[in-house]
């Protein structure tokens, strides 16, 4: 993974745990055949593609809070 992509993605998703989870889920999707949401003149690894998608805000995430019973 390219350092400049990681640093730029951290500006979009500052929490490293969330960033890792978003990237890993997207990498799995790309490896199973989903098309990239970004274009590149060079061949990018699935990890770099996922980071570029985050940087360009093509993919996002939501946090769900568990419902409290009471």
Cβ-based neighbours of 8, under 8 Å, separated by 6 or more: 51, 55
Instruction: Please give the Cα distance from 25 to 69 (Å, whole number).
Output: 30
**Cut 0.75: pTM above it:** yes
pLDDT tens string 13-66: 999 999 999 999 999 999 999 999 999 898 999 999 999 999 999 998 988 888
Residue-by-residue DSSP string for 5-27: HHHHHHHHS--HHHHHHHHHHHH
9 in Cβ contact with 51 (< 8 Å):
yes
């Amino acid at each position: 993974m390219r350092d400049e992509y990681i640093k730029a993605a951290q500006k979009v998703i500052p929490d490293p745990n969330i960033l890792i989870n978003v990237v890993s889920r997207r990498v799995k999707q790309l490896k199973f055949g989903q098309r990239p949401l970004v274009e590149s003149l060079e061949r990018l690894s699935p990890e770099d593609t996922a980071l570029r998608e985050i940087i360009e805000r093509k993919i996002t995430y939501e946090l769900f809070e568990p419902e409290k019973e009471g």
